Amino acid sequence: MTETYEDRPRTGGDYEPLGAAQPAGQKENALRLRAGSATVEVAALAPDLFRVGAFFDGRPPEYASEAVAAPEGEPVPVSVHQRGEGLALSTPEAEARISLSPLRMSFADSSGRTFCADDPELGMGVVRGGSPAGDPVALYKRREEGERYFGCGERTSGLEKTGSYQVFWNVDPPAGHTAAFNNLYTSIPFLLSLRGGRAYGLLFDNTRRVEFDLAREDPARIRLGAEGGDIVYYVFCGPTPRRVLERYTWLTGRTPMPPLWALGNQQSRWSYADEEEVRRISRAFRERDIPCDVLYLDIDYMDGYRVFTWDRDRFPDPRGLISELGEEGFRVVAIVDPGVKVDENYPVYTEGRENGFYCLTPGGEEYRNAVWPGVCAFPDFTSARVREWWGGNHRALLDEGVSGVWCDMNEPSLFIPEHSTMPPDVVHPGDGRPRLHGEVHNTYGSLMARAAREGLLGLRPGERPFVITRAGYAGLQRHALQWTGDNSSWWEHLWMAMPQLQNLGLSGVAFCGVDVGGFFGDCDGELLARFTEFGVLQPFCRNHSAKGTVPQEPWAFGEPYESVCRKMIKLRYRLLPYLYTLFEECHRTGAPILRPLLFEFPEDETTYAADDEFMLGGALLAAPITRPGIEHRHVYLPEGTWFHFWSGERFEGPAHILAHAPLGEPALYARANAALPLGPEKSHTGERPAEDSLTLLIHAAEGSGSSALYEDEGDGFAYREGVYARREISCRRAGGRITVRLGEREGSYDPGRREVVLDVRGIRGARRATVNGEERPLRLGEGRVAVALEERPGETVVEIEAT
């Protein structure tokens, strides 16, 4: 049947919470207990990370998971001691407290404050007779007064999820999904809790259909449940959102460094029908002076929608076309779907069939369903052999010059019935360990993306893979970026994009974006302009639209909209040094790139309701317009000093202000004393302008701030061997004295430029400036001063006497 939105639990039956437990041994950093027929373990995987497993009906503990990149954890000094009538497992930073009769767990920080506790009545347990697929399991946690919930991956509706019911079951929703559609393409059963500025996280690691009741039925507790399997969950102790995300991405994997070109503007459509249309689009970008790095080939480039083939009528010479585009600075990314056409004359299909690489029916026959090519078979990506085979098939694309892979339809989405997915009783043979699809459904997209990434690494070992996925599970950020699927050309979807991407970032998926302009339906000039104002600030910036809709390339609606899109896309290219620095921070620490205000200001509860504002890194606050025909909107500025990016007007937070945001000047605010590295304008990332300088834009105000600049070769993996350049940058203003310090360059990469321009704003003027004690000439402007600095590896200290 068609997958639809559900707002209440599907399972019935009788819930049986775990009762009394007895200790059953200790091994290094873990305690084992027995509670009836269940085995329960609690382990400290890091000083601020605990894992709890409950395995029912005599099943042995099993923690292998597609979500987890560091399953063994790290060496942790732990102590086990009696605590009342129970036990405690302590690390230097936190403590797991275990009550034995009945078995209940709670977690406390080093001060003894409890921050995450089982519901005393319900705890964790199993629902007997609740589902024909197996007994559902459930975990009940107590909700403290004032506790708020965020995260949950790709979601509709607002940023905060308190009081909601969340379903995790990957589907391809019908066109025009609204906030009433709960589950979408990706399932990340991860929860970020905030209360009084203190954060912790919960990952409920179960790849079946999962349900979260986040204090909807009972405001005093939450329920995390799944349709079968066992309970495995992780507690990330925090105490800040930054610490939670750092540890969460340590466990589930960090976003790999992308190639620099992947940060450029990207253009797609379903479909650019043939090579002449692709050439026409590429020429238009260059002739109209609109930067662009990537063009996409949707499903019509294939021969009858057969994956890893080319339609030689539409694209007679793909290698020549892609080479020609490369000379103009364009990369090409091609779509790949998991459905393999059943065709005895199609080598990809026959090779997969002969090797037993496809999913099976319960009776052992090849499972088939219809998608774009017609009747298809579907690879079993749970098998390492199948992933290796699938990854190697990308040679047919890479040999023609394709630079990246776009994994679509990988929920998997099926046509019979429309918008359905695989039945839960389909069999994945695996590598000798068969599993039912219902057990692994939510991982199918991640495993396909993993196969693509590993394939690209094998075929081009010296290049950073570029893989996009529509579907996935917790940890997908290790393999691919996520675009949020088929949105619509609606103002409502422009608004919805912001909390959607913020919650993805809070769930570890930092490299993400929505289709700029919307996919389904007809866009118009104003909507495209406003979408672009937002879109250029996404980590992934791509305009994409559906067959049968009006064109929506940046020039499609004429003036003034073309000029607005051009200005905004050029701004993105100027921001590339800043964006690249944010990607490296994300790769190193897990910090989101597009992040909610609460990530930077967790103690300010006003930020918890900031659905349609966000931070781009720590230096820029954006509040896009999301309604037609208006030029003003409310903006909340948290504590600190802020400067309007376009006018330089100064504001003191916390403050609610009315922002003027005409087309081409979205509400954008720079944080005081943060350095914003800006590059020159360029038509694509590979272009080297004659003046390839770097500008450090700083809005100075009383107080201090710190930031960073990261650079490397933009591709390849030499950065792992130290071939990179990272500087810490600080700015301090005390009265009329401004001190900017560029720390010593870390790493062996030489950026190859002669100078850096320090552009300091927020001042009336300046008397003098020194660089490492030597006086330097000033370039004065209205409210600003600029100082030219030589690019050098050592520390540089700039002192400015401001008026």
Q: How many helices (H) and strands (E) does the chain have?
A: 13, 52
Q: What is the DSSP letter of 106?
A: E
> What is the Cα–Cα distance from 385 to 160, expressed in whole angstroms?
41
Contact 724, 710 (CB under 8 A): yes
- C-beta neighbour count of 671 within 10 angstroms: 24
The question of whether 408 is a catalytic residue gets the answer yes
Rounded to 10°, the helix 318-327/275-287 angle is 0
Task: Look at residues 175, 194, 173, 176 and name the one whose alpha carbon lies nearest to residue 184.
Answer: 173
Per DSSP, helices labelled H in 79-230 are none
Widest Cα–Cα separation across the chain: 84
- Assess whether the previous peptide bond of 412 is cis (omega < 30° from 0): yes
Is the alpha carbon torsion for 321, 327, 328, 334 positive or negative? positive
Task: Look at residues 453, 368, 378 and name the one whose alpha carbon lies nearest to residue 410.
Answer: 378
> What is the Cα–Cα distance from 105 to 141, expressed in whole angstroms?
9
Burial profile 262-282: b = 16 or more Cβ within 10 angstroms, e = fewer: bbbbbbbbbbbebbeebbebb
Task: Look at residues 725, 695, 706 and name the one whose alpha carbon lies nearest to residue 785.
Answer: 695
Rounded to 10°, the helix 576-589/241-252 angle is 70
Q: Locate tokens 């990340």: which residue?
A: 188
- Cα 631 to the center of its chain, rounded Å: 30
Classify 359 as helix, strand or coil. coil
Task: Look at residues 443, 500, 485 and name the one whose alpha carbon lies nearest to residue 209.
Answer: 443
Beta bridge partners of 636: 656
The 3-state DSSP composition of the chain as helix, strand, coil percent (nearest 5) reads 20, 35, 45
Q: What is the DSSP letter of 747?
A: S
Is the alpha carbon torsion for 498, 502, 507, 512 positive or negative? positive
Contact 190, 14 (CB under 8 A): no
The question of whether 411 is a catalytic residue gets the answer yes
Q: How many residues does the chain have?
A: 803
Which residue of the set 135, 439, 486, 799 is catalytic?
Answer: 486
> What is the Cα–Cα distance from 506 to 508, expressed in whole angstroms?
6
Burial profile 481-514: b = 16 or more Cβ within 10 angstroms, e = fewer: bbbbbbbbbbbebbbbbbbbbbbbbbbbbbbbbb
Reported in sequence order, the residue ranges of 735-773 that DSSP labels E, i.e. its strands, are: 737-742, 755-761, 766-771
Contact 477, 253 (CB under 8 A): yes
In order of 360, 439, 440, 467, 500, the CA distances from 428 in angstroms are 7, 10, 9, 24, 32
> What is the Cα–Cα distance from 595 to 498, expressed in whole angstroms?
10
The question of whether 227 is a catalytic residue gets the answer no
In order of 29, 673, 706, 802, the CA distances from 701 in angstroms are 48, 6, 13, 11
Which residue of the set 408, 515, 553, 611 is catalytic?
Answer: 408
> What is the Cα–Cα distance from 483 to 471, expressed in whole angstroms?
9
Task: Look at residues 627, 625, 662, 621 and name the one whose alpha carbon lies nearest to residue 639.
Answer: 621
> What is the Cα–Cα distance from 626 to 496, expressed in whole angstroms?
9
Beta bridge partners of 99: 104
Contact 296, 483 (CB under 8 A): no
Which residue of the set 213, 411, 439, 612 is catalytic?
Answer: 411
Looking at the annotation, which residues are catalytic? 408, 411, 486
